[in-house]
């Protein structure tokens, strides 16, 4: 496995593995892509790691990964991860079982999973379902004495109704603080007030702690005391934080320079693809002075700094 935060990352909305996966790639690239596809997320898929287990050298492996990337199955980049204690940029290698276009990769980087190719639909073959056969005839049960049934039923305990978490918290008050013991009728009357706490994200422990902390010396009316605390200490409505969109940067697979997806065609920047700027254009747009101008200005400055000799 790679270091934490590094290694293979599978894209979302992938179809199930099929025998035709990577069939459009050459034999070597298809074998490498199939091996990467079988690896779990987080596995080290660097050139050195793959060359140790596959029958290809590092140069051949680097070429194969580049062709897999150009075909749309792989991209390299960085993602900004924010934890409870720190934030950092980590390097990822995203892998897709289906070839994705540049627009799909750009949509994936912004967290728009709709831009990623959805899994292929399952085949419409009917599924065989066993029809239930006729039930075997059972022997007639002997008739029981009604008096015996009534006698047995009267001895069985009645099934208690299921109570809400709010009712359970109120009923547990007497076990934690005997001075706050409530009757069943009082628990049912206070249940709506306690339920408002749970609707706002409170847990049973939070409710019990708020009702039992810093009690007076003697509680004369437990139900009235609990009602006052449930109303006065009602927490604010809990608003879960909005999900942050992922921050991802794609980088050139050759030089590692970060860039926007539209500038990294097939995962390579323009410089690595051979799209270099013209010398005359770069010289005309350069903010620096030519060497000849610099030398002339230095000579003028030196001449002006020499002391002039006056005739005696």
Q: Within a domain: residue 140? A: no
Residue-level pLDDT at 35: 92
The answer to whether residue 129 scores a pLDDT higher than 70 is: no
Q: Within a domain: residue 90? A: yes
What pLDDT digit, counting tens, does each position of 139-169 carry? 454 454 545 444 444 554 555 567 788 899 8
Residue 278, by phi and psi: left (phi above 0), alpha (psi -120 to 50) or beta? Answer: beta
The answer to whether residue 137 scores a pLDDT higher than 60 is: no
- Count Cβ neighbours within 10 Å for each residue of 73-85 and write b for 16 or more, e otherwise: bbbbbbbeeeeee
The answer to whether 215 touches 177, Cβ cutoff 8 Å, is: yes
What pLDDT digit, counting tens, does each position of 258-302 carry? 777 767 777 777 787 776 544 444 445 555 567 777 777 777 777
CATH number at residue 90: 1.10.10
- Report which of 31, 194, 234, 9 is spatially closest to residue 105, judged by C-alpha positions: 9
The answer to whether residue 81 scores a pLDDT higher than 80 is: no
Are 169 and 106 contained in the same domain? no
Q: Within a domain: residue 20? A: yes
The rounded distance, in Å, linking the Cα atoms of 49 and 43 is 9
Give the chain's domain count: 2
The answer to whether residue 303 scores a pLDDT higher than 60 is: yes
Q: Within a domain: residue 237? A: no
- Percent of the chain at pLDDT > 90 equals 10
Q: Within a domain: residue 189? A: yes
Residue-level pLDDT at 4: 47
The answer to whether residue 68 scores a pLDDT higher than 80 is: yes
Q: Which of 2-16, 99-113, 179-193 has the highest mean pLDDT?
A: 179-193
Q: Within a domain: residue 200? A: yes
User: Which position has the higher pLDDT, 266 or 119?
Assistant: 266
| End-of-domain residue from the set 77, 93, 111 | 111
Q: Mean of the per-residue pLDDT values for the chain?
A: 74
**Residue 43's pLDDT band (boundaries 50, 70, 90)?**
confident
Q: Which pTM was predicted?
A: 0.45
User: Which position has the higher pLDDT, 93 or 145?
Assistant: 93
The answer to whether residue 115 scores a pLDDT higher than 50 is: no
Q: Within a domain: residue 74? A: yes
Other beta carbons less than 10 A from residue 32's beta carbon: 24
Domain hosting residue 54, numbered range: 8-111
Residue-level pLDDT at 152: 42
User: Which position has the higher pLDDT, 75 or 83?
Assistant: 75
Other beta carbons less than 10 A from residue 96's beta carbon: 21
| End-of-domain residue from the set 232, 255, 286 | 232
Are 181 and 94 contained in the same domain? no
Residue position matching structure tokens 């005696």? 312
Other beta carbons less than 10 A from residue 182's beta carbon: 18
Are 37 and 107 contained in the same domain? yes
- Percent of the chain at pLDDT > 70 equals 71
| End-of-domain residue from the set 72, 91, 111 | 111
Q: Within a domain: residue 227? A: yes
């Amino acid at each position: 496995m790679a270091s934490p935060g590094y290694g293979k990352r599978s894209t979302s909305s992938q179809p199930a593995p099929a025998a035709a996966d990577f069939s459009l790639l050459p034999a070597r690239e298809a074998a490498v892509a199939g091996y990467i596809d079988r690896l779990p997320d987080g596995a080290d898929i660097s050139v050195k790691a793959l060359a140790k287990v596959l029958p290809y050298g590092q140069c051949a492996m680097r070429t194969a990964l580049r062709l897999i990337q150009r075909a749309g199955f792989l991209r390299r980049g960085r993602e900004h991860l924010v934890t409870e204690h720190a934030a950092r940029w980590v390097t990822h290698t995203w892998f897709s079982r289906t070839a994705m276009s540049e627009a799909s990769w750009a949509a994936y980087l912004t967290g728009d999973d709709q831009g990623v190719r959805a899994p292929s639909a399952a085949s419409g073959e009917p599924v065989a379902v066993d029809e239930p056969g006729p039930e075997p005839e059972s022997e007639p049960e002997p008739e029981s004495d009604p008096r015996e049934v009534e006698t047995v039923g009267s001895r069985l305990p009645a099934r208690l109704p299921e109570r809400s978490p709010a009712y359970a918290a109120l009923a547990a008050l007497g076990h934690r603080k005997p001075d706050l013991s409530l009757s069943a009728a009082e628990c049912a009357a206070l249940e709506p007030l306690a339920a408002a706490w749970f609707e706002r994200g409170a847990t049973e422990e939070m409710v019990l702690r708020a009702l039992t902390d810093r009690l007076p010396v003697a509680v004369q009316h437990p139900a009235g005391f609990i009602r006052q605390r449930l109303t006065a200490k009602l927490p604010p409505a809990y608003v879960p934080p909005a999900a942050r969109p992922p921050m991802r940067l794609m980088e050139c697979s050759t030089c590692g320079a970060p860039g926007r997806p539209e500038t990294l065609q097939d995962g390579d920047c323009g410089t690595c693809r051979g799209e270099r700027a013209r010398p005359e254009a770069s010289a005309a747009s350069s903010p620096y002075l030519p060497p000849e101008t610099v030398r002339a200005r230095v000579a003028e400055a030196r001449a002006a700094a020499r002391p002039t000799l006056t005739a005696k």
